[in-house]
Copies of this chain bind each other. A is one copy, B any other.
Amino acid sequence: MRRVAIIGTGHGRFGVRDDATVQELAFEAYREAVGEAGIDPKEIAASWIAAVPEYHKQRSLAGVVQEYLGLNPRPTWLTEAACASGSAALHSAWTAVAAGLYDLALVVGCQKMSELETPEILALMGRVGDVQWESVFGSTFPGYYALFARRHMERYGTTREQLAAVAVKNHDYGVLNEKAMFRKPASLEKVLASAPVADPLRVFDCCANADGAACLLLASEERARTLGAEVVWLDGLGAASAPMSVLRRDDLCSLPSAVEAGRQAYAMAGIGPEQIQVAAVHDCFTIAEIIALEDLAFCAPGEGGPLSESGGTRIGGRIPVNVDGGLKAKGHPIGATGVSMAVEIVRQLRGACGARQVEGAGLGLTHNVGGIGQYCFVNVFRRES
């Protein structure tokens, strides 16, 4: 297999985007990536569109995006793995370049959720859980993660304040990210006093539905070397699944797919978790970030809460996590999120993140969960040293 580089990144503004169709959101990110890479779009051999289609009036999203980007007759299709769709698309595009099938590939994550009302979205999302045995009884995503949080609190003594520390940190970094949905700090008091959603989770423990797009250009080593710039490689890929029914989960304090995907990614990159210098993890709820720290072996099981509360996941701490604001403050346009994570990590490794830069980061990681962990993708990125 050939080594694969990320040669271009693009990221639109996340939030409520009444100003653009989904294909226009895609173009906003695409234009930035093509400009950054300095390539001729005619070089793009194929494109992978990441989205969860049911939120849009327009279906056949890959077709409409490909046409709008002017990339016909190049092949395209959509890749979906719930909230991990972006990473699934990246995995597939990486594979095609690694195989030697294509020299230059495009990944676009795009999602416009604001076409639906929140109750419709909640109902749809519930059906991303098991319909036959669970969602018929009214299960929703906040409910699932509230179960995880409650169990984590009981087993490890994780506290409400520790959950809130995740939200406070991510909102602090959202302020520094001009593409983020929420750019206001949230104090510990504000988080703790916010409206209850599903006990123990409150409004500020939950990420927000959003519109937005992000984009990556992948190239073979040979093509990447000709661009002259410092190269960022995608050197470790992990991908795994787990039962989507919580009825069949042995443990509510860990996502088995995340543990497995992390193990694969570290092994493929030939590194250990202690070498990662910056990470973007799937904080759909505050408890999810705490569990991710443990599943990725950034700390031992049960230590995710104290690590978060101590500032260990801030810039300057043991492992800076979600310094772009995470899903929590940046917003979560579900199909775009995995691509957005990769954009942030590539830019961190290039030293291009301004006020939220993790100085000297050479190894970064993304952790992207679909549903309640039925999918997980972990990727390790490396700056050529």
Contact = CB atoms under 8 A, between A and B. Distances in A.
A375 B62 contact: yes
A270 interface: no
A375 B77 contact: yes
Given A100-B1, A130-B64, A240-B74, A79 B82 contact: no
Contact of A375 (B63, B100, B130, B375): B63
Interface string A218-241: 000000000000000000000111
Interface stretch (A65-73, A174-182, A291-299, A313-321): A65-73
A185 B181 CA distance: 59
A75 B239 contact: yes
Interface string A87-130: 01001100110111100000000000000000000001001111
A260 interface: yes
A371 interface: yes
B54 A54 contact: yes
A243 interface: yes
A63 B80 CA distance: 10
A325 to B, nearest CB: 26
B132 A21 contact: yes
A78 interface: yes
Nearest to A75: B239
B245 A67 contact: yes
| Copies of this chain, count | 2
Chain A interface, >50% SS class: mixed
A71 B257 CA distance: 12
B1 A99 contact: yes
A27 to B, nearest CB: 14
A3 to B, nearest CB: 12
A370 B63 CA distance: 9
Contact of A63 (B58, B75, B371): B371
A339 to B, nearest CB: 14
Nearest to A54: B54
A243 B79 CA distance: 20
A78 B69 CA distance: 23
Q: Which of A91, A95, A100, A245 has the most CB of B within 10 A?
A: A95
A129 to B, nearest CB: 8
B77 A62 contact: no
A190 interface: no
29 contacts: A1-B101, A52-B59, A53-B80, A59-B131, A60-B82, A60-B127, A60-B370, A62-B81, A62-B241, A63-B128, A63-B371, A67-B243, A67-B245, A72-B240, A73-B241, A73-B257, A74-B241, A75-B240, A75-B377, A77-B81, A78-B79, A78-B80, A79-B80, A79-B92, A92-B95, A95-B99, A98-B99, A98-B101, A99-B101
Given A59-B127, A72-B241, 15 more contacts: A1-B99, A1-B101, A46-B239, A58-B132, A63-B82, A64-B244, A67-B245, A67-B374, A72-B240, A73-B242, A73-B260, A77-B79, A79-B79, A92-B95, A95-B95
